[in-house]
Amino acid sequence: MSKENLLKHLRNIPDYPMKGIQFKDVTSWFMNPDDLREIADTMYEMYKDKGITKVCGIESRGFIVGAILAEKLGAGFVPVRKPGKLPYEKVSMEYKKEYGFDRLEMHIDSITKDDVVLIHDDLLATGGTAKASCELVSRFKPKKIMACFIIELTNLKARCSFPEGIEVSSMIEMDEFENL
């Protein structure tokens, strides 16, 4: 994998969604078939021998590579959604974000105690949504929970705040203010 090649195609959007945030827009990678293939293939290699039975994609960018990864691993895909998007009975969790509160939901039959779960999102920044997803998945008491990200903004140190026992991995580690 070429970090440099991918970073050439990554958009950085200053002051979005609020002043002081350097938003890393991975949709530019999803539009490029070579970048998307490289991301999917690299993540598959990272997880192919881990016995994963379910991939949980966090709304919304986590759905894209999460679903591709689930298919490549021969696992099921579970969407972790914002309120009001799931039609069946659900379990939910409210959590605090850096600029307010939010809620995540999953169907009540999404995960069993026999599942090995990989939670996927595009980016790990402050970690609020990812940690809340881990807590929500842990309510199902699966065998194991892992979390993976395409990019991790290491200067924000979110990895340190995940519950013990959750393996956290990322394809690309970078500082939020790293010059693209």
Q: Are 61 and 83 in contact (CB under 8 A)?
A: no
| Whole-angstrom distance, CA of residue 148 vs CA of residue 140 | 19
pLDDT at 95 (0 to 100):
92
How many Cα neighbours within 13 Å face the side chain of 21? 11
pLDDT at 175 (0 to 100):
87
Global confidence as pTM = 0.94
The reply to whether CATH 3.40.50.2020 applies to domain 50-174 is yes
What is the per-residue pLDDT across 155-168, written as a single tens digit (0 to 9) for each? Answer: 999 999 898 899 99
What is the per-residue pLDDT across 15-56, written as a single tens digit (0 to 9) for each? Answer: 988 888 888 999 999 999 999 999 999 999 999 999 999 999
Which entry of 61, 81, 105, 159 is annotated as an active-site residue? 61
Which entry of 11, 37, 45, 98 is annotated as an active-site residue? 98
pLDDT at 128 over 70: yes
Q: What would the mean pLDDT of 118-132 be, rounded to a whole number?
A: 94
What is the per-residue pLDDT across 80-113, written as a single tens digit (0 to 9) for each? Answer: 999 999 999 999 999 987 778 899 999 999 999 9
pLDDT at 179 (0 to 100):
60
pLDDT at 161 (0 to 100):
86
pLDDT at 97 (0 to 100):
79
pLDDT at 135 (0 to 100):
95
For the chain, the structural domain boundaries read 50-174
* Residue 61 annotated in active site: yes
* Residue 98 annotated in active site: yes
% the chain with pLDDT above 90: 80
Q: What would the mean pLDDT of 143-152 be, rounded to a whole number?
A: 98
The overall average pLDDT reported for the chain is 93
